[in-house]
Amino acid sequence: MKLVKMSLVAAMVMGASAFAIDNVKVSGDAKLYYGTSNASTTGSGGTIQPATAGGSQSGLFSKNNSAGDTAVRIGATGDLMKGVSFGVTGYAVSSLGLENNLVSNTWTGAHGVTGNGSSATAQVDTTAWIGEMWMAATLGKTTVKIGRMELDTPFAYSEKWSVVPNTFEAAVVINQDLPDTTLVGAWVGKGNGQNTLLNGTTGLGIDNTTGVIGIDGIIGKGANQNTFGNDGAYAVAAVNNSFKPLTAQAWYYNVVNVADAYWLQADIACSLVKDLKIGAQYANMSPKGELKRIVNTLPQSDIKDSSAYAAKIGYEGVKNLKVSAAYSKVDKDGTLKIANVATNNLSAAQSKLYTEAYWNYGYVGAPDARTYTFAGEYNAGFATLGAQYTDVSIGTTSTLTQLVGKSDTKMKEAALYASKSFGALDATLVYFSTKADDQNIKAGATNGSRYDSVLAMLQLNF
């Protein structure tokens, strides 16, 4: 069966059937990530920037405007008996003390900090945790997976663009008895994502009083697993491929005492024009319960549903070249963003909309956001070269303005990247230019100025 962008399903099937009886497979990777920018201020609205506030040493590659991190992942999978498998993954993150000399920030907030007598008045802690520990059992065409794991669903998923991903404690059931159809049911009880309702807001820079550090805003201090949302969440889904060029999926979520949500998506390989691919998305989130109570404590707040639609067209008819264009529109005055609810949804959580930016998350899923995205990628042999341009315009929104201060905002991002594998070593270098009204706001100005950023990422696979 052909599935598109369904790594949750693929992971479950692999976890239950890809390993021979008694076979144990160990794998992992080590990462070194660096980011820097020449922004002189951090801006408002919880936006992600690869730097802390400027000061006298602000500038591209300066210590105060740079972030660095290392992470090690080691995982093992195997079979306990026929049809029963397991998986365990451990993570460790360390700044290697770089915050004392080369950078003033880390990528992940999982470290935490401890006060001491250093020039930064705090040290960044080395932290290790078990990110995954699950068991899966298969009977016929039904698989059940229980434990701590990564998930990949439209509204609740592990964000994997940073140095470490967030994970969940969940139970997932998948059935493929119906022809060309995959049915999914899930209960998500806990997660270690930075959750707005529980973990508070994220921050930039090393803060010795709150222990909040990191630029990604994904995982909280210690990577501890906490109750997902307010009381956990249920999800059900159906993925169908009966008409072979088309993969259609429908998801429904009940984030208990927080919101109901659904996501519809269809991706088709056009039969009239070879190598032309077309996609459409529609999503809706309806707040309820505890979220209504929290937001209603704000003056003049107004709880409303959030909905969005998106369309994408891509062409792969030229050898080694992929190009695409996408558009999305989010309705006005919604409370939640059309973005991940497992990380900081009201700040800079990543979105599964086709138009998501390369780096500046938190914009395309905001209420009253209109977004255009153009992207291209070419395998030049010596490296894979890519470019993406994202243009977002956010109108006036009452609820979101009170929560995160983002209204009447425009954000333009142009990203260029090059990726190359040297055997087991993967290397990526990214340059991007950002012009956002709520970032890099100079003294006396009302809107932000354009700034440049550079990311360098190394990953050694073993």
Tell me the mean pLDDT in the region 433-445. 87
- pLDDT tens-place string over residues 346-378: 778 899 999 999 999 989 999 899 999 999 999
Amino acid identity of residue 211, one-letter, is: G
β-bridge partners, 413: 390, 434
For residues 230 and 238, the answer to whether their CB atoms sit within 8 Å is: no
What's residue 408's pLDDT? 76
Comparing 244-253, 257-266, 302-311, 358-367, the range with the smallest average pLDDT is: 302-311
- The helix or strand, by DSSP H or E, that contains position 403, with its residue range, turns out to be helix 398-404
Mean pLDDT of 224-231: 87
pTM: 0.88
User: What's the chain's average pLDDT?
Assistant: 84
The pair phi, psi for residue 63, each rounded to 5°, is -60, -45
* Cα of 138 vs its chain's centroid, Å: 29
The rounded percent of the chain whose pLDDT value lies above 90 is: 57
Q: How many CA atoms lie within 13 A of 228 on its CB side?
A: 27
Q: What pLDDT does residue 395 have?
A: 84
Question: Which pLDDT score is estimated for 296?
Answer: 59
User: Which of 319 and 17 is assigned the larger pLDDT?
Assistant: 319
What angle (nearest 5°) sits at the alpha carbon of residue 232, between those of residues 230 and 237?
Answer: 135
Which residues make Cβ contacts (< 8 Å) with residue 94, sequence separation at least 6? 69, 70, 71, 111, 126
Q: Is 161 left (phi over 0), alpha (psi -120 to 50) or beta?
A: alpha
What would the two tokens of residue 295 be?
Answer: 């937001």
Whether residue 1 is predicted with pLDDT greater than 80 in this model: the reply is no
Q: What end-to-end distance do the CA atoms of the chain give, in Å?
A: 30
The answer to whether residues 195 and 259 touch, using CB atoms and an 8 Å cutoff, is no
The tokens describing 108, both together, are 């992940």
How many Å apart are CA 286 and CA 306, to the nearest integer?
Answer: 7
- CA atoms of 346 and 231, how far apart (whole Å): 18
pLDDT for residue 62 is more than 70: yes
Contacts of 313 (CB under 8 A, 6+ apart): 276, 277, 278, 279, 324, 325, 326
Is residue 399 over pLDDT 60?
no
Residue-wise pLDDT tens digits, 124-147: 889 999 999 999 999 999 999 999
Going by pLDDT thresholds of 50, 70 and 90, the confidence category of residue 22 is: low
Structure-token pair, residue 177 = 């008895």
Q: What is the mean pLDDT of residues 93-106?
A: 87
Range in 120-124, 176-180, 233-237 the model is least confident about: 120-124
pLDDT computed for residue 165 by the predictor: 96
Domain ranges of the chain: 7-461
Q: Compute how many other C-beta atoms are within 10 angstroms of the C-beta atom of residue 205.
A: 19
Across the range 233-248, mean pLDDT stands at: 96
Q: Report which residue type is found at 52.
A: T
> How far is residue 77's CA from residue 195's CA, in Å, rounded to a whole number?
29
Into which CATH architecture does domain 7-461 fall?
Beta Barrel (2.40)
What pLDDT, on the 0 to 100 scale, is given for residue 118? 64
Q: Is the pLDDT confidence value at 45 over 50?
A: no
Q: Check residue 171 and report its DSSP letter.
A: E
